[in-house]
Structure 1
């Protein structure tokens, strides 16, 4: 069984990495963020590992209408390439992916209208050079059930695959690879406390593959089936606002055996944020070779920025400037749409979640002009060399590296190092370290 999984890995990752001619890792981390510091830290980590990097954008975050970042797929590509040029990372080692591509941003519209917009979106992703597309059409649109049955989901996924294949042929680019399956929370993550999760049943995973094969053939895109590299399933990992469910390999034994039936197919694991190295390594060993992470990286960045803000208050005095948390609180209360449907409880409980939830809805507010200006002021207010004793007090996770000289005690370098701390377990798991 182990050999079958590793054969699958070589076949599937070979398709994803082609034509980069790089030694294949055990797996790959999928970076799901549009924050420039997160992207920079991830590029620096990939450079240290000598690996390719997979960076993904969700349908809500980036689409032909701009998404919540204001970026189209072509804009996002240019943004990532600017980040790469800044740190001299080779553009040819960047793999761009689109996550949850389907009608989700327009699910309040009638199905045909929402799907027409999804078709325009997936064509825009292909035309911008995105190589890995997760087809997610599981959500109902206006007048439909919240979750669709497997057959209708697969038929709509095949419809989008046909558009993607046509777009690739039209512009003469390499056709994309695909990820199917949707047994995860919708884009944005879980919205409630988690007591446990049901691991995807083996028969459900087999059914997902079967209905997609039928739908792809019916849509006339049999060739695209050869480029389906992974299926999204639930291995039992997730995080809520206040807790993390760790991977328990024994619960996924039956699911893992499904891969023996499908040569060249891997599992893609969503919501792996906050999983320790041992659990991530166990996921990779079980065939979950694509590990998606996003909120965990901006959570680490927020921790670093709040720690730096505490250092500023020590150095300048608390009365000298408005705290970064206060600026963010104002922004979040002024525009609550990014968190109000995700945080419940008393006003005090909601305030705690706004700033410290694992789901990290605060990540939507870093581009806000007032918040961005506050971060710039924070960096300007701090010395270029922060006293080591204050790093020990307020950024203790980074203190050993600062003391050893491997991390410079400057505000920006400390932020990058904090993000890298969250990335390191993924590096160790996927690179077999």
Structure 2
């Protein structure tokens, strides 16, 4: 039985386990996640979003089959068997085509879901909650459910008979971090979550998808966690107590929590314990990547002659200013405020710029330069203190590639600790 099938049962058994979902296409992030899964002897869930990967290429230029080959290649290179890699599609629906009439957007969404399922993506988040051209948001629950059933049918027809597992519902605010100031968020009410489940179940049954319904494994809800540019709303378990009762009454499903980045480590264990069996993480991993690379940039300036330096941080800022479309609608304020947000924001809009050829070349030069010299422990202590401790303990080689991977795994480790089966936690 796969981890996706076990989630609901393990929660009801009183020994909950979870799985974290890595939402990134950066090869270093995926390598770090693969190596973490190898070390933990666990499965790895990697997800692509509807804007990122679709039948038209998405913003990273990959169709679902391309992303599958990309992720599995990294897994193979680092010793993770293919059967332990779970691929997922996030927010699959008309999201990329909201500016089009609903029927046209839904036809494109069906084509996208078809490609995801045909390419072997096992976990499908059906999200038809967004309004299209001339529609008023929010859409009626009945319309959302009817569209989700339509997308589910497309997925089933393309699956080749291999089970696909479905997640329904959506979260508020929008994915990827809020842009406004945050104090706290309203936790999804039990009443609202129950209504979402009931209308989807009724609609699936009416659409002849009754046999599929047992493979609806999770419902996306808002557990009261979020982050914006400079603050994080922390999880408060007591606020979800009423919501948790729905899982015990329904039986067999868990909640999926989005925007769990930057929570305190203990929160992840509480979330899994409380029935949030799928934890999505993305920006926190590329945030850690940026911290590692910029720390190495500082070390490089100390060890390498100026004329040969990569000047990575300066190159990133230059390219972000030349191509502002990925940050200027999100970062507001005076010029200095925007500069700080470009570099340090929790929402980490830098993640969209790593594939830029100029930036990619600078990263390659940085890594090459530092691979050619011995990095003093004393510099690691100043720039990458946790990696310094691992080097001193003999657990980490002081070479640039390994330092970056270790830094990313720092952000993954709390998820891995929280998602381990209860039996493993007791050992």
Q: Smaller-chain TM-score range?
A: over 0.9
Deviates more, 1:140-149 or 1:41-50: 140-149
Q: RMSD over aligned Cα, in angstroms?
A: 1.9
How big is each residue's C-alpha offset from its partner over 1:65-87, in whole Å with a ceiling of 9 and x where there is no partner? 11111010000000011101111
Quickly say closer, same or farther: Cα 1:156–1:417, change in 2 above 3 A: same
Residue aligning to 1:75: 66
Q: Is the 8 A contact 1:11 1:264 kept in 2?
A: no
Give the secondary-structure state (helix, strand or coil) at the position aligned to 1:382. helix
Which of 310, 334, 359 is the matching residue for 1:346? 334
Show the 5 A alignment for 1:203-282: 203-282=191-270
What is the SS of the residue equivalent to 2:167? strand
Aligned to 1:31: 22
The structural deviation recorded for 1:320 is 5.0
Among 341, 347, 355, the residue aligned to 2:343: 355
Q: Describe the SS at the equivalent of 1:397.
A: helix
Query: Aligned partners of 2:234, 2:307: CA distance in 1, in Å?
Result: 42
Question: Of 157, 160, 185, which aligns to 2:148?
Answer: 157
The alignment partner of 2:212 has SS state of helix
Q: What is the rounded CA distance, in whole Å, between the counterparts of 1:338 and 1:382 in structure 2?
A: 30
Q: Does 306-315 or 328-337 show the bigger shift?
A: 328-337
**Partners of 1:230 and 1:265 within 8 A in 2:** yes
Equivalent in the alignment of 2:413: 424
Report deviation, 1:280. Answer: 0.5
The answer to whether 1:396 aligns with 2:377 is no
SS in 2 for 1:278: helix
* Number of the residue aligned with 1:21: none
Greater shift in the superposed pair: 406-415 or 311-320: 311-320
TM superposition score normalised by structure 1? 0.93
Deviations along 1:74-127, one digit per CA (max 9) or x if unpaired, are 000000111011112101110000000011111111111111100000000001
Q: Which runs of 5+ in 1 are unaligned?
A: 1-9, 18-23
Map 1:23-102 → 2, pairs under 5 A: 26-102=17-93
Q: 1:328 aligns with which of 286, 294, 316?
A: 316
Deviation at 1:223, TM superposition (A): 1.5
Equivalent positions of 1:110-189 (< 5 A) are: 110-168=101-159, 172-189=160-177
Structure 1 partner of 2:12 = none
**TM-aligned CA deviation for residue 354 of structure 1:** 1.0
Matched, 1:287 2:275: yes
2:304 & 2:265 partners in 1: Cα distance? 38
Q: Which residue of 188, 192, 196 corresponds with 2:180?
A: 192
Shift of 1:323: 2.0
The SS at the match of 1:160 is helix
The residue that corresponds to 2:368 in the other structure is 380
Aligned-residue offset at 1:193? 2.1
Deviations 1:279-323 (A, max 9, x none): 100000000011110100010010000000000011125565352
In 1, Cα distance between equivalents of 2:6 and 2:130? 28
Tell me, what secondary structure is at the counterpart of 1:71? coil
- 1:139-195 CA-partner distances (Å, limit 9, x unpaired): 111111243222211111111001111112xxx241310000112333433222211
Runs of 4+ in 1 over 4 A off after TM superposition: 317-320
Q: Structure 2 CA distance, aligned partners of 1:191 and 1:136? A: 22
Q: In structure 2, what is the Cα distance between the partners aligned to 1:55 and 1:97?
A: 6
Equivalents in 2 of 1:387, 1:91: separation in Å? 38
* Contact 2:175-2:258 within 8 A present in 1 as well: no
2:386 is the alignment partner of 1:408: no
Structure-2 separation of matches of 1:249 and 1:406: 35
**What whole-Å deviation, never above 9, does each CA across 1:243-273 have from its counterpart, x for those lacking one?**
1111000111111111112110100111111
Cα distance per residue 1:27-82 (max 9 Å; x no partner): 11111100001101001101111111111101011111111110100000000111
What is the distance in 2 between the residues matched to 1:161 and 1:346? 46
